[in-house]
Chains A and B, each alone.
Chain A
Amino acid sequence: MLHLKRILLVTLLLPSFGFSQEEDVQAGKALFNANCAACHQLNRKAVGPALKGVTEKYDREWLYKWIKNGTQMIKDGDPQAVAIWEEYNRAVMTNYPQFSNEQIDNILAYTNYTPPAPAAAVATSAETVSQGSDISVNIILAVTIVIFTILIVMLFLVQRTLIKIANASGVKIEPEPRRNIKPLWKAVVENQFIMFVLVIGFLLSSAYFTYGYLMQIGIDQGYAPIQPIHYSHKIHAGANQIECKYCHSSARVSKHSGIPSLNVCMNCHEYIGEYNGEEDLENGYTKDFYTNEIKKLYSAVGWDEENQVYTGNTQPVKWIRIHNLPDFVYFNHAQHAQVAKIECQTCHGPVEEMEILYQYSPLTMGWCIDCHRESNVDKDNEYYQKVHEELSKKYGVEKLTVAQLGGIECAKCHY
């Protein structure tokens, strides 16, 4: 479906390219994305000013000079150059002496370019496609229903003709006489053996379910609270392949993995102000929905998008904690993620596919112990070399499990 949409989009857009002016724009776009986009956006202020309409603000020669060597112009005291330089807190724009005038023309052509609005066309065609698939399902349903009704009607007809034939050939079909039998349930209740088996079965199964219910008390497997910002691991760690530790950076060195502070988010989101990725329409996650969530992040860190400055007006984001061991257990991330080199996904499940994060493992004592019984210790770790050697000798084994290292002693986890 999505595939289809993209192909449609491409085919719809393709015819509009191919003119030489469009080629300039394409070349300009490539140059712009590679060189200027870090600091300039077309329609909004970023590190530098918005570039849409800049050709009207200055004359061409000035722009050539500025882009090739703006620093020199500022030094020489060109009034326009100094004015914009002061306005942007004396931020230095990179010089591009390597560009030819034509290349700069291309870039400027791109900054003035308004793409023809294909949005409406794409939307309708996408709709027809989606209706198309619905229709085909509906058609299949209707056809099967018709076939079944025809079959039923035919059965009746056949029965009727059969009876007619039987009548005609003189065979009498007598309806079976109704005997006076006991209803089934009464028979069952009166049969002691069946009752006995049923009662036992009932007791056993209710004991089973009660036990199951009691044993899951206090276990939050599957817990997925609604977070104050709809932050999606599927988009960040999945589609955009951001490393877990980019955000959960203390997992390398401490007990806690930690939730990233908002300045980490802003490393990317000062730049990424709106969402343009894939949508999930079934759940109502549209682009607008996602963009709105990014705005929530902005209001929490106090980022004024319009002027690209921090207002200093911040609020903490109240993330709801999901994984939480009881207070009497000690668990350390660095020991597992860094020392034992266990992938985060072993314990936290397929996080990169989770739109909303949930608790994947039960986090019971049995779960910890099972893994400690089965896992081997990484014996290349220099820090523990001596301990590992002595223990190997003591147990007479090549590979040590965590349990042999003492990973199932109560005091390792409870103190």
Chain B
Amino acid sequence: MRNSSILILFIGLTLISCFDPSKPNFQYFPDMYESLAYETYAESDGFSNGIEAQVPVEGTIPRGWEPYDYPDSNEGYEMAKSNLLSPLDISDNNLSQGKELYEIYCSVCHGDKGDGMGILAQREKFLGIPAYIDREITPGSIYHVLMYGINAMGSHAGQVNEEERWQIAQYVMKLREESKK
């Protein structure tokens, strides 16, 4: 009687101590748990580089995507600055969308007001971020900078799509106007 209860206690303890947070738990008949189809970003031997997520074939264009003709160079930047115009009208909806996106993607560095004092600048992790007011910028140049990045600022084209880039550009111009006052 006594021995068996010690035994059970022992088994219980080993079962509990089996739980190691760096390993997934046991599964019971996981027949339909694990996908036969490839899971997002998973490894796969279907492709030569062993990754499921593939870059689109060169030259393919997603539906609704428009090519961007200005090259990633100083000349391209100047051209975009003077020639490229926003297809969006200035509207409250665009501005509020732009604000929301700006606060996700730009505020960390440029600050909510566009004064170059985002949290990373305040904490001196990332220095030399300009205030918008100090730069001659147009919606076209902002769009260009979002596409390709400029000097220490990287490209944000992967995070926001075309329409969203224009909405952000609109909002940045508004911030710049406001900080003039």
Q: Name A residues whose Cβ lies closer than 8 Å to a Cβ of B.
A: 33-39, 46-47, 90-92, 202, 206, 209, 213, 216-220, 222-226, 239-243, 245-246, 249, 256, 258-259, 261, 263-264, 266-268, 270-272, 276-277, 316, 318-319, 321, 324, 326-328, 358
Contact = CB atoms under 8 A, between A and B. Distances in A.
A327 B34 contact: yes
Chain B interface size range: 35 or more
Contact of B25 (A223, A226, A328): A223
A318 B40 CA distance: 13
B26 A39 contact: no
A263 B155 contact: yes
A217 B25 contact: yes
A34 B25 contact: no
Interface of B: 5, 8, 12, 15, 19, 21-28, 30, 32-37, 39-43, 50-51, 74, 103-105, 107-108, 119-120, 123-130, 149, 151-156, 158-160
B153 A243 contact: no
Contacts of A266: 154
| Residues of B contacting A: mostly | loop
Nearest to A239: B123
| Residues of A contacting B: mostly | loop
A91 B22 contact: no
Nearest to A199: B1
Contacts of B32: 326-328
Contacts of B126: 268, 271-272
Which residue, A33, A38, A92, A264, has most C-beta atoms of chain B within 10 A?
A38
A245 B158 CA distance: 12
B118 to A, nearest CB: 9
Which residue, B43, B103, B125, B159, has most C-beta atoms of chain A within 10 A?
B159
A316 B55 CA distance: 13
Contacts of B159: 246, 249, 264
B74 A92 contact: yes
What 8 A-B pairs come out closest when comparing CB atoms?
A38-B128, A37-B127, A267-B154, A37-B128, A326-B33, A327-B35, A249-B159, A38-B152
Contact of A223 (B21, B27, B33, B154): B21
Contacts of B37: 327
Nearest to B159: A249
Contacts of B27: 217-218
Contacts of A90: 74
Given A206-B8, A209-B12, 4 more contacts: A39-B152, A246-B104, A267-B156, A272-B126
B154 A220 contact: no
B180 to A, nearest CB: 18
Contacts of A267: 149, 153-156
B152 A241 contact: no
B151 A47 contact: yes
A357 to B, nearest CB: 11
B81 to A, nearest CB: 13
A91 to B, nearest CB: 7
Contact of B127 (A33, A209, A239, A324): A33
B32 to A, nearest CB: 5
A202 B19 CA distance: 24
Contacts of B151: 38-39, 47, 91
Contacts of A39: 128, 151-152
B124 A33 contact: yes
A272 to B, nearest CB: 6
A259 B41 contact: yes
Nearest to A261: B158
B27 to A, nearest CB: 5
A218 B104 contact: no
Given A90-B74, A240-B123, A245-B104, A270 B152 contact: yes
